[in-house]
Structure 1
Amino acid sequence: MTQVVLGQNERIESALRRFKRQVSKAGILADVKRRRYFETPIEKKKRKQVAMRRKRRMR
């Protein structure tokens, strides 16, 4: 669970910015988008293969 504690004399905008950064680092939004629709096992396999190709290409 992502939490942001508001410091003394801290503005809401800076706390919101920290919260958004933590959410993006944790990969929560990407996970939600991926789980939005049912994915068949074949689609999962294809997605993982594409990810592996990208990862190999980056090296």
Structure 2
Amino acid sequence: MAQVTLEENEGIESALRRFKRKVSRAGIFQDMKKHRYFETPPEKRKRKQLARHRQRRWSSRRARQSS
């Protein structure tokens, strides 16, 4: 859980900015979007397979560039 305490003489805008940064680093928004709708097991397998495919493509592309 992301939590921000207001410092002395700190504006609400800067505290809100720090809170948003913490929330994005913690991955809370991505998790909320992922759990927004029910995902059936076949859909989950397909999504994970696509992610593996993208990861393999990305890592092979980076390996070619560093050679």
TM-score > 0.5 by shorter chain: yes
CA offsets 1:18-41 (integer angstroms, 9 cap, x no match): 101111111111111111111000
Q: What residue is the counterpart of 2:17 in the other structure?
A: 17
Query: Larger Rg: 1 or 2?
Result: 2
Structure 2: how far apart are the matches of 1:31 and 1:44? 14
Unaligned runs of 5+ in 2: 60-67
CA offsets 1:8-56 (integer angstroms, 9 cap, x no match): 1111101101101111111111111111111000110111111112222
Q: Output the TM-score relative to the length of structure 1.
A: 0.88
How many pairs does the alignment contain? 59
Q: Output the TM-score relative to the length of structure 2.
A: 0.79
Unaligned runs of 5+ in 1: none
